[in-house]
Amino acid sequence: MRASLAGASLIVSLLSISLLAAEKPLDVSAIVPKTEAEKILGEPVRNPTPLNVNGKDGYYSKCNYYSTKSVRSLLLRVRQASEGSVDPQIEFNQVTGNGVKFQTIDGLGERAAMLNGVPENGLPPNVIMLYVVKGKSFVTIGVSGMADEEAALTKAKQVAEKVLAQL
């Protein structure tokens, strides 16, 4: 009986390893640490409280960096979809649908779009949200408090490229 339990345990372990090898769970706070967030925002930031957790629809990694001097912030999110959960392509369509105004971004993942603080999007001014789909992952990068939208988008793209390189 013990031999069969040990064998079953070994099989489960090997299956888990092969699943993780296919798409390992990310920690966005390790990909973009506090020192880098400070460079991106151009200001010191508070200590973050990252969250990495398995949920019923996938693995989530999130981290928020908030400036200590102004309203600037950097938000990082990745959902790695589990089998049978909402496909990231559908999630992308939900975010970019319903009359929001978005800009398609070429060269990032399979699909990418940026939403900004225009009234149709329901975001405050000086906020951009970048959404990217790659495989079974849905990546969200938010930058707020920067008056130059193009500079904010450039920074968000750079962060997205770092995250996507880990997928």
pLDDT the model gives residue 10:
34
Q: Which residue range forms the structural domain that includes residue 45? A: 24-165
pLDDT the model gives residue 16:
38
Q: Within a domain: residue 4?
A: no
Residues 6+ apart with CB under 8 A from 104: 112, 113
CA-CA-CA-CA torsion sign (9, 11, 12, 16): positive
Q: How many CA atoms lie within 13 A of 73 on its CB side?
A: 15
Report the distance separating Cα 64 and Cα 118, nearest Å. 23
Question: Residue 104 maps to which CATH number?
Answer: 3.40.1000
Residues 6+ apart with CB under 8 A from 95: 113, 115, 131
pLDDT the model gives residue 24:
87
Two tokens, residue 9: 């345990």
Q: Within a domain: residue 16?
A: no
- Can you give the pLDDT of all 167 residues of the chain as single tens digits? 444 333 333 333 333 333 333 468 999 999 999 999 999 999 999 999 999 999 999 999 999 999 999 999 999 999 999 999 999 999 999 999 988 999 999 999 999 999 999 888 889 999 999 999 999 999 999 999 999 999 999 999 999 999 999 99
DSSP SS3 for 33: coil
Tell me, rounded to whole angstroms, the distance of Cα 160 from its chain centroid: 8
pLDDT the model gives residue 98:
86
Q: Within a domain: residue 146?
A: yes
pTM for the full model?
0.85
pLDDT the model gives residue 118:
86
Number of domains observed in the structure of the chain: 1
pLDDT the model gives residue 5:
38
Q: Within a domain: residue 105?
A: yes
Q: Within a domain: residue 18?
A: no
Q: Which residues pair with 59 in a beta bridge?
A: 54, 80
Q: Within a domain: residue 11?
A: no
